Amino acid sequence: MNDDQITELARLLPAGPEPDLSADRLQMLKERLMLEYRQETRDSRLTWPTRPRRRARRPVLAALAGGAVLAGFGATALALVLSSGGPAPASPAAVELLAKIASTAARQPAPAVSNLEFMYIKSEVSYAVYNNGSQTPTIEPLHERQIWMPVANVCDWGLVIEQGQRTSLAPSAGSGPSLAVKCGPGSLDNATYRLLQSLPTDPRTLLSQIYGFDQANGEGAALGSDGEAFVTIGDLIRETIVPPSTAAALYRAAALIPGVTLISRVTTVEGRPGIAIAWTNSQSRYEWIFDPTTLQYLGERDYDLSTGRPVVTGNAAVLQRAFVSKAGQLP
């Protein structure tokens, strides 16, 4: 069922009783449910399991879903976001750290990679699971996750090994023509190395493209456009190997996102000390964790703040990255 169908269904239903919630709380609930619905819908369209994105969404009351998508984003909206009348800019401490991280990334050597190779990333991960509609998540045990992503073509049979299960990253035979995946370098939510190489390296241009991509894919309902842009960049740097110039641009773009802050003392899920770049609203907090000495990316941690106390909903600690000749091969 698509958005238009759900909106029409909601219009035909009889009006319900007046809500007990205040208008502000009701709007917040609608936005949160809309975000969850969009995630459920997008996940159902994928024909292979890609990197975790917007994880652990609960079932959604679809009748509240209509009419929440922002229109006409892109470069004009980015200019508005960055204007003096918009949300508070990134904190000076976060901007300074991101500049150092970007400079460090830019100095890394650019590898020579063939189109037949795969990006290999090994991580320790744990994500929240909402069982039987529960409002309280259960965090799954920490476990190893290995992924092999194609360098040039998303249809080149990548692989995920997680919790003893091998999952081929290839179009599903039963997906049908309406769910067919477009082969090639991928997109911002399923990026190959070649796609990452093709991204603009001007931070404002890159950030405008990210905002536009999120808007076009129905993101931004609950986190807002700034939070979604932060999450999209986090997805790009977590389970890929990012070319040095692109990595530098992504970190400099992150410094332009309103609400980005620095957290001086954090620890990755497997115990490494770090420093974090974070984005927070009343519902969620997302942290990217870096080594305080080398400024290398170590992992991430996500929190649900909606219950009044921070509840961890996702952990990822990257242990190894390399290029290999075929899916399943270890460095």
Domain boundaries, the chain: 70-324
Q: CA 39 → CA 26, 174, 243, 309, distances in Å? A: 20, 21, 28, 24
| pLDDT (0 to 100) of residue 282 | 87
Q: Would you say 211 and 65 are in contact if contact means Cβ atoms under 8 Å apart?
A: no
**pLDDT surpassing 60 at residue 90:** yes
Task: For residue 75, give the nearest of 271, 212, 191 by alpha carbon.
Answer: 212
CA distance 216 to 262: 29
Q: What is the band of 221 on the pLDDT scale with cuts at 50, 70, 90? A: low
Q: Would you say 102 and 252 are in contact if contact means Cβ atoms under 8 Å apart?
A: yes
Dihedral pair phi/psi, residue 171, rounded to 5°: -55, 140
Q: What is the band of 136 on the pLDDT scale with cuts at 50, 70, 90? A: confident
Q: Would you say 319 and 123 are in contact if contact means Cβ atoms under 8 Å apart?
A: yes
Dihedral pair phi/psi, residue 245, rounded to 5°: -65, -35
Q: Check: pTM over 0.85? Answer yes or no.
A: no
**Least confident among 12-26, 55-69, 79-93, 221-235:** 55-69
CA distance 280 to 291: 21
Q: Which residue has the tokens 């079932």?
A: 59
CA distance 62 to 38: 10
**Least confident among 121-135, 165-179, 185-199, 286-300:** 165-179
Task: For residue 63, give the nearest of 18, 3, 10 by alpha carbon.
Answer: 10
The average pLDDT across 34-52 equals 39
CA distance 234 to 218: 18
Interval 148-163: pLDDT, tens: 999 999 999 899 999 9
Q: Would you say 220 and 214 are in contact if contact means Cβ atoms under 8 Å apart?
A: yes
The average pLDDT across 3-27 equals 49
